[in-house]
Amino acid sequence: MFCAVKSNSPFSAPRDETARANCGNGTKSILLPISITSASFWLCLIHLALTGTVVMAAETDLASRHPLGQPFWKSKKMVNEPILFVQEEGKPVASGKVLFTPTAKPKLTHPDQVMTYIEGKDYIWKPGSDTIELTISSRIPFKTAAQMTPPPGSPNTLGGGLWSEGHFFHDLQVQASYEHDGVWNLPAAPFENRLSRSLGKLRSKQSLKLVALGDSITEGFNASGFRNSKAPPYQPPYAQLVADTLQERFGAPITYVNLGRAGTKAEWGLNQVEKVAAEKPDLVILAFGMNHSEPASAFDALMRKLLGAVTAACPQADVVLVSSMTSNPRGRPATHFTGYRDVLREMQTPAVALADLTSPWLELLKSKPFSDLSGNNVNHPNDFGHALYGHVICELFPAPNGTDSAAPPKQ
């Protein structure tokens, strides 16, 4: 069992999993292994009186934690791959594609991952195909191609395509699970002997303080557990997934602080360095780029300035630089983001590592439409995308036995 310590209002959330989903703008959380007893209840009250923060015990450890399982590219079973079915012009039914060709009938579930659709009644899959078609009478939601690209001036339109915040797109993205024989290649594994201080703490099960600083993606937009887009299955944003996964993987207590804020750039991040330093972090995630429009050379100068300020203020901390997913291809070209990725790669040192999200995101787009992967169809990831962020960052912290997690494959 676990006890969660929060810095938000003591009475803002009746359950730990609700409070955890709202981590952002400086919200803190820590998980400590304890027994749920009457003694722990009184300790919680004492902690509240002394510190002004509330300690709440979750009913089960799994209720409050969301560790990632094995990355999908290391498994022959895909779990909860999102599909937004689209009916193309001139086609009688809507269809969607999966990343790999299933070796057996895929299972489709509602976005809440509870209701299961019926093959033959709701959808049709032909062996040897990576395409799934809906039936005429299907209960599965879909959009027409015209609806995905509304005329200029239409409601919920941005950059020439359908757009919405909240859980609008989440509610359209059906989850596909299936077995396959496919292979998915990521960029080369990160260099060894990086982030040794934080990795050493994790492997020796010492407590670790994680601070995430970034834009709306880091804050958590369009994760189903985020406050502005809450919907089942309530998956937390990627930074929370990282904290939970590292704790599950190493058994070390993780304290997590999210300082991400929507609409921000690295310049704003410079003004937050004092807040970052005040947390005395062991590990800092810096994730900017989506809101930047300047050439890669200018972004390089900004990020070097931010990185220098963070490392000077937090000399004890390792740093993970995150290169962003791309925006909708209708907007900026992929080279805009690969340029940013490339300059971040040159900033690596033994205490600074790159989590390259740009490359796997572009690889996904070779087989999947952007609307399958985005939570707003413009510039935010959905749950699958947040999980991808979490997996790539956690790849920098391999378990001693070489396994990713004791958990079975999942997002």
All structural domains of the chain, each given as residue ranges with its CATH number in brackets, are 2-64 (no CATH), 72-179 (no CATH), 196-394 (3.40.50.1110)
With tokens 């299933």, the residue in question is 102
Q: What is the pLDDT of residue 189?
A: 58
Give yes or no for a contact between 246 and 292, defined as CB atoms under 8 angstroms apart: no
- Measure the CA–CA gap between 388 and 407, rounded to whole angstroms: 16
Give yes or no for a contact between 385 and 373, defined as CB atoms under 8 angstroms apart: yes
Q: What is the pLDDT of residue 208?
A: 98
Q: Determine the distance from the C-alpha atom of residue 15 to the mean position of all C-alpha atoms in its chain, rounded to a whole number.
A: 22
In a 10 Å sphere around its CB, with 0-12 CB exposed, 13-18 middle and 19+ buried, how is residue 50 labelled?
A: exposed
Residue burial 161-186, b: 16+ Cβ < 10 Å; e: rest: bbbbbbbbbbbbbbbbbbebebebee
Query: Tokens in use for 76?
Result: 């022959």
- Measure the CA–CA gap between 68 and 126, rounded to whole angstroms: 31
Q: Which residues contact residue 146 at a Cβ distance below 8 angstroms, ignoring those fewer than 6 apart? A: 89
- Measure the CA–CA gap between 245 and 27, rounded to whole angstroms: 19
Q: What is the pLDDT of residue 402?
A: 60
Measured between its terminal Cα atoms, the distance across the chain in Å is 23
Q: What are phi and psi of 197, to 5 degrees?
A: -70, -50
With tokens 């080279």, the residue in question is 335
Residue 355 to residues 74, 190, 296, 325, 336, Cα–Cα distance (Å): 17, 9, 17, 11, 17
With tokens 């991400």, the residue in question is 260
Kindly report the three-state secondary structure assignment for every residue of the chain: CEEEEECCCCCCCCCHHHHHHCCCCCEEEEEEECCCCHHHHHHHHHHHHHHCCEEEECCCHHHHCCCCCCCHHHCCEEEEEEECEEECCCCCCCEEECCCCECCCCEEECCCCCCECCECCCEEECCCCCEEEECCCCCCCEEEHHHHCCCCCCCCEECCEECCCCCCCHHHCEEEEEEECCCCCCCCCCCCCCCHHHHHHHHCCCCEEEEEEECHHHHCCCCCCCCCCCCCCCCCCHHHHHHHHHHHHHCCCEEEEECCCCCCCHHHHHCCHHHHHHCCCCEEEEECCCCCCCCHHHHHHHHHHHHHHHHHHCCCCEEEEEECCCCCCCCCCHHHHHHHHHHHHCCCECCEEEEECHHHHHHHHCCCCHHHHECCCCCCECHHHHHHHHHHHHCCCCCCCCCCCCCCCCC
Strands 161-162 and 157-158: antiparallel
Q: What is the pLDDT of residue 34?
A: 30
Q: What is the pLDDT of residue 35?
A: 30
Count of positions (residues) in the chain? 411
Instruction: From first to last of the 411 residues of the chain, give the pLDDT tens digit.
Output: 333 333 322 222 222 222 333 334 454 544 443 332 333 333 333 333 433 433 332 222 333 579 999 999 999 999 999 999 999 999 999 999 999 999 999 999 999 999 999 999 999 999 999 999 999 999 999 999 999 999 988 999 998 899 999 999 999 999 999 999 999 987 665 566 799 999 999 999 999 999 999 999 999 999 999 999 999 999 999 999 999 999 999 999 999 999 999 999 999 999 999 999 999 999 999 999 999 999 999 999 999 999 999 999 999 999 999 999 999 999 999 999 999 999 999 999 999 999 999 999 999 999 999 999 999 999 999 999 999 999 999 999 998 776 554 444 455
Query: Tokens in use for 175?
Result: 């989850």
Give yes or no for a contact between 390 and 242, defined as CB atoms under 8 angstroms apart: yes
